[in-house]
Each structure stands twice: as structure tokens, then as C-alpha cells.
Amino acid sequence: MAQSTYPTLGQIIYEDASLEKLLPKGTSLEVLASGFDWSEGPVWVKEGKYLLFSDVPKNTIYKWQEKEGLSVFLTPSGYTGRGTYSDEPGSNGLTLDNQGRLIACEHGDRRITAMPLDVGGKLTLADRYQGKRFNSPNDVVQHPTNGSYYFTDPPYGLAKKDKDPTRELPYFGVYRVTPEGEVSLLIQDLTRPNGLAFSPDGKILYVAQSDASRAVWMVYPVLENGNVGSGKLLFDATPMVKKGLPGLPDGFKVDQDGRLWATGPGGVLVLSPAGKLLGRIDTGQATANCAWGDDGSTLYITADGYLCRIKTTTRGANLR
């Protein structure tokens, strides 16, 4: 595909020479589509060779394909009630599970769902913990070996956010749903848990916190029983927020060598497994999420009103 086919956006900022091997000088960030309210949750569907992603305020999942371009895939995507629910009612994070189903975090309906791509129809995987409804599930990932779904539950989809009167849970948790449907609370001490991903071997869970006063990525060991151990700080981007760089720690993905490609202040930060900042893809926008696509080496990026992509020399981990 020719680089001149699409307009470009932003720049690459190199903090470490190793990033030049991953994103060679001259690599461009292409804009594939624009005009969205807040694009989120991209996921690549390998069999159909297309990308799905959410526009949370528009309560819609869009489909993008190289030849066909942009189309509506599903609406409503996350809120099926009557009237106006909130300013972010739709689906947010999306992933494919090991059955090929589309797993969605639904803000308005406050649940995690599974939908077969070939026939449609949704199955609720989880909508409450100990009888209490979730706030607004934000991002979800399936463990590569134990099959459980891990997801975050901040307040962003509630009409009045953390002060919403319909809020039922006292914390913004990170949860696990087993293949049998058992829901457990794994982490309850984060103020705004957001994106999450596993290391290539599935032994580490990374969680982003989108709190401007403590904008961090945390790392947790995954225990044999599927729960997680105590968390440790991986990278603190709070100084970058204070400098005025747009965005907060949000969605991210991991490559085959364990590096994090993490949306946050200043675009997409590339972090080593040890938490060293190698550089960033400066989109100039508050950037929400990303996903590996094509042959696994293309990074698709949702950045506010834009859908973008960039070619890398690495490949994603745990690709479906």
C-alpha cells in the first residue's frame, strides 16, 4: 500500500535508539478515517481482514476495511434503553475471544457481552458483582491460557460519573470472569483503572490508570489460580500530564517481545518490559486505544476523532 494513499498525522519522538528499529525513520502515521466523537476499542478481525472499533458517544461500532472503507457495523453498541443515558453510552473496549466472538464492554447496559460475528445475538458474560451492577466496563482482555476475561470498571459511562446516583459499587475495580461465569474482584485500590493487557506468556497483567493526579501503568503477577498478586509501578506518566501533553493512560497492547504500546499523554508511548520509555507516536490528540492488525505488525490507533495506522517491524503478542 502506498504511503501517499492517506493523509498523515503527528510525528515519532525517539527517546531511545532502539525505537528506530521498531519504527524506522520516515515511518508515517496514516489517517484512515475521521469525524468521530471519541473513537475507542479497536480490534482486528483476521478472517474478514477488517477492523472494528467503537465510537462511545455515538453508541456505535464501526467497521473499516481497506477497499470498502468505513461502514456502521452495529448500533446501538452499548446502550439499548430509551432516551438519553449519558454522554458515553456506547461500547468501549472490544476484543475477540478464543471462540472468535466479539467481546464488548458496554457502558450504558453496564455489562460485558459476547457476540458471534457470523450470526449475531449477544450473550451477557457479566453485569454485576455480588448482586451489584457494574459502573461502566471499560476495557477487556482474555487470558491466553486460562480463558478468563479480565476487565476494568471505572465510572466514565455513568451519567454523573463517580457521583452518579445509580452507582452501586463502592470502588472502581478490575474483575475476572471465568469461562463458567464466576465473577471475582481482583483489584480495588485503583482510582481510575482503564486499559489492560497480558504479557506474551500470560504471567503478567498490566493495568493503566487514567487519573491525571497519578497517571500510571501497574504490573501484577498472574497466579496459578487466575487471580493476581500485589501490584508494582511500571511507569509513571504524571509528569507528562503536568507538562500539558494531551491524553491519559488508556488502552494499550503488547508486542511479541513484551513491549507496551500504550496510549497516554502525548500519543502512543512505547515502553520496554522493564518500564523504560523508548519514545512515542505523537498524534497531537488525546489518544484512546490501539490494536495489532493485518499480519500482526500494523498498529491501528484510535485518537479522538481519528482512526489511524502505522507500520512497525515487530508483531503483536497473543493475536487471535
Residue for cell digits 490507533? 301
How many Å from the N-terminal Cα to the C-terminal Cα in the chain?
24
Do residues 184 and 227 make contact, with C-beta atoms less than 8 angstroms apart?
yes
Residue for cell digits 448482586? 131
Q: Which of 109, 139, 250, 255 is catalytic?
A: 250
Supply angle C-alpha 304, 78, 49, rounded to 5. 65
180 is an annotated ligand-binding site residue: no
40 is an annotated ligand-binding site residue: yes
Grid cell locating 58 = 455515538
Give, in order, the Cα–Cα distances in Å from 296 to each of 43, 44, 91, 116, 285. Answer: 11, 9, 24, 22, 24
Grid cell locating 156 = 466514565
109 is catalytic: no
CA torsion, ordered 113, 117, 121, 124, to nearest 10 deg:
-10
304 is an annotated ligand-binding site residue: no
250 is an annotated ligand-binding site residue: yes
If you count DSSP H runs as helices and E runs as strands, how many of each does the chain have, helices first?
2, 27
Stated length of the chain: 320
194 is an annotated ligand-binding site residue: yes
Residue 53: CB atoms within 10 A of its CB come to 27
Which parts are annotated binding residues for a divalent metal cation?
Answer: 40, 194, 250
Which parts are annotated binding residues for substrate?
Answer: 138, 162
List the catalytic residues.
250
Which parts are annotated binding residues?
Answer: 40, 138, 162, 194, 250
